[in-house]
Structure 1
Amino acid sequence: MSDSENTAAIVPDVKDWTWVLERACPECGLETPAVVREDVAGMIRANAASWAALLGADGAALRRRPAPGVWSALEYACHVRDVFRLFHVRLGLMLTQDGPLFANWDQDETAVAKRYGEQSPAVVAEELVAAAEVLAAAFDGVAGEEQWRRTGSRSDGARFTVESFSRYLVHDPVHHLFDVTGVRHA
């Protein structure tokens, strides 16, 4: 793959992925509606371990995009790390504020600004695992129905409870691991 193919602009994903809260994902295989909220923390940790193992591979291969405009494995890993960080912030808002409105986040702009494709796979692996642990511990700390029912909203009108937010979140890193490996969720 040429350098120009590896630096081609990413086509922004403008899909509304909240449908995964209602039915299984036909691509990655995760049955998000069946995810038990108390299992989310463990799923986050397991997913992070899979990413860390993947990031131990050859750096050049991790940086190579499978097609023009499609993120490399390293870029996806950086995105997952940042999703874990962002969702930790959003979970904190939901648990401490009444019905917070989440700030917009442009994942594609972030990928360019942070130069995802140029980051060190070893550092990304450490940061991803650390961010996953912080988020998983925060979900471990959610206690009682009152906390699981607290809400937060995106600017597009999507409204989540902590419980639906946990299931929505877990689909993202699972789906991106499928994007990179082609292995469906068991």
Structure 2
Amino acid sequence: MTTEQTPQTEPGAIEPDTKDWTWVLDRPCPECGFTAAAVDTGALAAALRDNADYWTAALADPRAEQRPSPTVWSPTEYACHVRDVHLVFVGRLERMLTEDDPVFANWDQDETALADRYDLQRAAEVAPALAAAAARAAAVYESVAGDAWERPGRRSNGSAFTVATLGRYHLHDVVHHRWDTQWMMEG
């Protein structure tokens, strides 16, 4: 935490992300370059683990808790989000594998960031939690076989997924946030 940011003060306002990112399943992401169609389902688990390795290294950097500007998350805040993405998606994945066409409750990522005070979390604590969440998600994806990749599930807004497309969507989210924080690892 910086001297300007104490438990009593609110973090700088972050513009909420209101985009529906499901389009990344149909075309490459122009920002991070991710191409969902190029991801083999058999590679999802390894890709999630590799991504978690990036975060472990990034969170060891002394700048990890610093925002590059007041309205942009620090790498630690992004890592909190990535950790929670893994937890939300593994929950959805497990439901898809055990229920018939489940409907997922809405997850407000911006509300979670504020409620859980991502801005006050410590990189040294977030790193192992993110790695554990990624490992859990990877293990469940590794357990999927055959026709189970086609099992359906839906978000509360009606967006439909199969286990395969949910995995690719999940992977894009964490890859994109790696791209969001690449400045720190390059600079």
Q: Tell me the TM-score normalised to structure 2 length.
A: 0.91
Q: Aligned to 1:128, what secondary structure does the other structure show?
A: helix
Deviations 1:98-126 (A, max 9, x none): 01000111111111111112112111000
Deviation at 1:78, TM superposition (A): 0.3
**In structure 2, what is the equivalent of residue 174 of structure 1?**
175
Compute the RMSD of aligned alpha carbons: 1.7
- Unaligned regions of 5+ residues in structure 2, if any? none
2:161 aligns with: 160
Map 1:3-14 onto structure 2 (within 5 A): 3=4, 7-14=11-18
User: Structure 1 CA distance, aligned partners of 2:71 and 2:107?
Assistant: 20
Deviation at 1:68, TM superposition (A): 2.8
Residues 43-62 of structure 1 deviation map (CA, whole Å, 9 limit, x = unaligned): 0000000000100111xx22
Aligned to 1:51: 55
The corresponding residue for 2:145 is 143
Q: Distance in 2 between matches of 1:134 and 1:17?
A: 24
**Could you tell me the percent identity over the aligned residues?**
51
Is 1:37–2:41 an aligned residue pair? yes
Question: Which shifted more, 63-72 or 103-112?
Answer: 63-72
| One-letter code aligned to 2:88 | L
Aligned residues: 179
Cα distance in 2, alignment partners of residues 53 and 64 from structure 1: 15
2:78 is aligned to 76
Pairwise CA distance, 1:67? 2.2
Q: Is the 8 A contact 1:148 1:161 kept in 2?
A: yes
Within 2, Cα distance between the matches of 1:163 and 1:92? 13
Identify if the C-alpha distance between structure 1 residues 19 and 182 changes in structure 2 by more than 3 Å, giving closer, same or farther: farther
8 Å Cα contact 1:55/1:74 also seen in 2: yes
Q: Deviations over 1:157-186 (max 9, x none)?
A: 100000111111100010001001149xxx
Indicate the SS of the match to 1:93.
Answer: helix
Retained in 2: the 8 A contact 1:21–1:164?
A: yes
- Whole-Å Cα distance in 2 between the matches of residues 103 and 7 of structure 1? 27
Any gaps of 5 or more consecutive residues in structure 1?
A: none
Deviation at 1:2, TM superposition (A): 8.5
- Residue aligned with 1:152, SS: strand
SS in 1 for 2:13: coil
Partner of residue 106 from structure 2, selected from 99, 104, 108: 104
Once residues 11 and 26 of structure 1 are traced to their aligned partners in structure 2, the CA distance between those partners, rounded to angstroms, is 20
CA distance in 2, matches of 1:2, 1:28: 32
Quick check: 1:20–1:33 contact (8 Å CA) kept in 2?
A: no
